[in-house]
Structure 1
Amino acid sequence: MHPHIEKLYQTAAKAERTIIGLMSGTSLDGLDIALCKIRGAGLQTELKVEHFCTLPYSADFQARVRAVFSKREVDLQTLTLLNPWIAKVHGQLINQCLAEWQIAATDIDVIASHGQTVFHCPLRQHQDPQWGNATLQLGDGDHLAVTTGITTISDFRQKHIAAGGEGAPLAVYGDYLLFSSATENRIMLNIGGIANLTWLPQSRDANAVFSTDIGPGNTLMDAYIRQVQPGQYFDEGAQLALQGQVSLSLLSALQQDPFFSLSFPKTTGPEVFNLAYLQRAQHASGTLLLTAADVMATLNAFTATMIAQAIKNSCAAERAVVYASGGGIHNPLLMQQLRQQLPQCRITTTAELNINPDAKEAVLFALLANECLVGGQQRFSNAREGIPSVTMGKVSFAD
């Protein structure tokens, strides 16, 4: 047996594994790094976050990634060079964290790397029957493993697509295994660049669980603030939005995309919801002369309205607790609007479940890596809702 395979076997046999989960979202603000201690697998998973940090990306990193991000036409050389380069940058950030935490690389069993999504392209989006679903994440696992000296499990989304899914949302697997409750209906709401939700009925019946993208979370607001206030990456504290008034005509135009009439589950990305989308909506509604504050207020209302509608459509007859996570929870106006539009739901964050809401996505990839190593005995799937039963992740060794 190869020593690497033997070490994987020994890791899988341990009572507790130390796994670093990574998440780099569409906001491109930084790399989320969660060091997790995980016991068990499946519904018996016990997870504790020992350390968490978000290390910001440099302006150079953001510029290089944005050169290809969500663009149909890119420079192929740049795309090719980014794949190992992103992984090396991520590896250096992990090494920095481990040094600050005074933890040796040899104390980490594996890294779970999501990579950096640069293009998401499900069939429902491109509508070319010659092709199926596709998605692309950069940040090669081999380079990350070599840079850190730690075995890496990466590229989770491809197996989901190979099994018939759209490659997203993957949070449903971790949501079901980690957050299912026998005492209450739960909605796990993540407000990242794109907002998505997982419905977890208190019956814990896997055939009733589903997960779906909703539409824009922060992506339009973040893109717009970068345009009108260069050097600012998000509307901190909703300062600009709070100065404006919602334009009902623009809000209505923003809601007209065919994506919103598609049945659940469905996926989307900044490839659809971007500044060009906003400009088309402004042209259609005759609102090109709105102030920046009014546009931002309307974009904020747009995100809140589509999230509220999705929750009402997905579980209208059920009472549920909404556990929110992601950058959107720091937008006070957005959270206020959600509570106003969803009076039947108690809205809180995953902090109430002992998971830092900023760390949740990184934690869930650590959990997927754990399932890759020791899961499989308790399979979770719901084919009707586009959730295939698969083991995700590719293993890269450090030498």
Structure 2
Amino acid sequence: MARIQGAASYKEKQHHLLIGLMSGTSLDGVDAALVSIETDKHETIQKVRLEQFYYLPYSDALRQQVMLLCSPETARVDQLTVTHYGLAEWYAYAVQQLLRQAGVAADQVDAICMHGQTVWHVAGNTQFPGPEGETSVRASLQIGELSTVMERTGIPVVGNFRARDLAAGGEGAPLVPYADLILFRDEQKGRLLQNIGGIANVTVIPAAAADEHIFAFDTGPGNMVIDELVKEGTAGRLRFDEGGKIAASGRVSTELLEIYLADAYYQLQPPKSTGREVYGKAFVDRFRAEGHKKGLSFEDMVATATALTAKTIAQAFERFVFPLVPIDQLIVSGGGAHNETMLGMLKAELPKHIVVMTSAQFGIPDDAKEAIAFAILGHETLMGRPSNVPSVTGASRPVILGNICW
């Protein structure tokens, strides 16, 4: 079987076929994208095309197990270790199903580019006992063993993308903006790329932008709070608010909303990132308890959580984007792109001249964009090129991301 033995062999080609794997903070499942990337003789990306997409939902048992690992109160080292390897079996299965659907053999694929499942993200400096006294540590843990995926599929795997940026003094996130620039840069239009997954994050791309002109950050909760409220409120019958129908049937509590708009995170200047350790189950429990005190119905709480996401996104634009960059279009992706109530709330908060679109209107399915992005990041790793953006992550310099399991 022909197989790449190193980056030098990969760089000799101008057409590359990769698989991007993404499992986000929503803990809903695995997005797998088969992506072709064409480069010119100068090794510059000329075309990125999605060939096939496959979604593998997590089982309830797996979702619950991973959820426990995202909280210091419930995480156990034995379960963390087992899940690290067990999740890799899910990733490998997703790859196999994707290839079956596409009618593509494993030996035609250059590499799998795998984000892994984030269970803890500490972007700021944390004090730790070092060899010469206290030292500062930045840390983020994505689980899913690369070697298992390689062994099950026979395809080289690139993963652990965030670690190198953290080592270089960055937040380790967001990483997708590098790919956003390749996919969505426009000579005439200033664009905002807003992903609404479990956490919401935005990439700011000025018209005719170069790498050093873009910036990005996590705006706050995306679907995470809404999903948890829906799961609890329906006794697990529903996992998310499809189309925003539950929110549309409720009333937004201005009083509850104002309490949670006061969260200190929203005032922090970018670069910044956040995750389930801030907006996970403990946050939702407090939100729900406050809602009950105020006599809110289940529908009212979902409506208010939806408004929280829309409002914090819009406020982030007002504080950190609009004073710096003229914007013409907002392009939404992720699960939130399907939530019509959320999109309606978001449009109502924005200046009238900004056109709100979804990535699907650009030929990139809303749920596939981040998986495609990690295929691009893996490609750059194999080309030996940096793909973090220091203006986005706060890293001291551009660095080549990820580890490779050949």
Query: TM-score under structure 2 normalisation?
Result: 0.90
Which consecutive residues of structure 2, in runs of 5 or more, have no partner in the other structure? 129-133
Partner of 1:117: 118
1:28-78 per-residue CA deviation (whole Å, 9 max, x = no partner) reads 222101000001288644100000121212222212212212445511100
> Partner of 1:103: helix, strand, or coil?
coil
Q: Is 2:220 aligned against 1:215?
A: yes
- Give the corresponding residue for 1:354: 363
**Would you say 1:332 and 2:332 are equivalent positions?**
no
- Per the alignment, in what secondary structure is the counterpart of residue 279 of structure 2? coil
Over 3 Å counting, the alpha-carbon distance change for 1:380 and 1:259 in structure 2 is: closer
Q: Which amino acid aligns with 2:102?
A: W
Cα distance 1:39–1:251, how it changes in 2: closer, same or farther (>3 A)? same
Identical columns (%): 35
After TM superposition, give the deviation of residue 9 of structure 1 in Å: 2.4
Residue 389 of structure 1 pairs with residue 395 of structure 2:
no
Q: Which residue of 2 aligns with 1:260?
A: 266
Aligned length: 393
Structural mapping, 1:70-219, within 5 Å: 70-71=71-72, 73-123=74-124, 130-219=135-224
Q: Which moved more, 1:6-15 or 1:231-240?
A: 6-15
Which residue of structure 2 aligns with residue 320 of structure 1? 328
* Rounded Cα–Cα distance in structure 1 between residues aligned with 2:30 and 2:295: 37
Q: Deviations over 1:197-253 (max 9, x none)?
A: 011111313332111000000000001111111221101122221111111110001
Contact 2:7 2:383 in 1 (8 A): no
Work out whether 1:248 is the aligned partner of 2:249: no
What is the aligned partner in structure 2 of residue 311 from structure 1? Answer: 317
For 1:372-387, what aligned pairs fall within 5 Å after superposition?
A: 372-374=381-383, 376=385, 381-383=389-391, 386-387=394-395
Q: 1: distance between equivalents of 2:390 and 2:93?
A: 38
SS at match of 2:81: helix
> For the structure 1 residues 391 and 110, does the alpha-carbon distance in structure 2 shift closer, same or farther, using more than 3 Å as the test?
same
**How far apart in 2 are the matches of 1:207 and 1:100?**
39
Task: Provide the aligned C-alpha RMSD in A.
Answer: 2.3
Give the Å deviation of 1:384.
7.9
Distance 2:60 2:76 in 1: 20
CA distance in 2, matches of 1:12, 1:145: 20
Q: Is the 8 A contact 1:70 1:120 kept in 2?
A: no
Unaligned runs of 5+ in 1: none
Q: Which amino acid is the alignment partner of residue 110 of structure 1?
A: A
Query: 1:32 aligns to what SS in structure 2?
Result: strand
Shift of 1:310: 0.9
Question: In the alignment, is the contact (CA less than 8 A) between 1:43 and 1:178 conserved in 2?
Answer: no
- 1:223 maps to a residue whose letter is E
Q: Distance in 1 between matches of 2:21 and 2:284?
A: 31
Compared CA separation, residues 28 and 269, structure 1 to 2 (3 A): same
* Equivalent position amino acid for 2:218 in 1: D
Change (3 A) 1:96 1:119: same
1-side partners of 2:45 and 2:270: how far apart? 28
Structure 1 residue 352, shift from structure 2 partner: 2.8
Q: What residue is the counterpart of 1:34 in the other structure?
A: 33
Contact 1:326 1:357 in 2 (8 A): yes
Letter in 1 for 2:398: S
* Deviations 1:244-268, CA, capped at 9 Å, x for gaps: 1111110001112111111112100
Summarize the alignment of residues 220-235 of structure 1 with structure 2, pairs less than 5 Å apart.
220-231=225-236, 232-235=238-241
Which is further off, 356-365 or 312-321?
312-321
SS in 1 for 2:141: strand
SS in structure 1 of the partner of residue 31 of structure 2:
strand
Q: Distance in 2 between matches of 1:384 and 1:244?
A: 37
SS at match of 1:28: coil
Q: Residues of 2 paired with 1:59 and 1:284: CA distance?
A: 27
Q: CA, structure 1 residues 279+31, in 2 after alignment: closer, same or farther (shift >3 Å)?
A: closer
Separation in structure 2 between the aligned mates of residue 50 and residue 285 of structure 1, nearest angstrom: 45
Instruction: Check whether the contact 1:241–1:293 (CA below 8 A) recurs between aligned residues.
Output: yes
For 2:23 and 2:149, locate their aligned partners in 1 and report how far apart those are by CA, in whole Å: 14
Amino acid of the residue matched to residue 310 of structure 2?
A
In 2: Cα distance, 1:380 partner to 1:110 partner: 19
Q: Kindly tell me: are residues 69 and 281 of structure 1, through their superposed partners in 2, closer, same or farther at Cα, counting changes over 3 Å?
A: closer
Distance in 2 (alpha carbons) for counterparts of 1:142 and 1:242: 45
Superposition deviation, residue 313 in structure 1: 2.0
More displaced 10-residue stretch of structure 1: 265-274 or 59-68: 59-68
SS in structure 1 at match of 2:322: coil
Write out per-residue CA displacement over residues 97-124 of structure 1, whole angstroms, 9 at most, x where no aligned residue: 2123222111111000000111111227
Q: Measure the CA separation in 2 of the matches of 1:127 and 1:79.
A: 23
- Which letter does structure 2 place at the counterpart of 1:93? A
Amino acid in the other structure paired with 1:321: Q
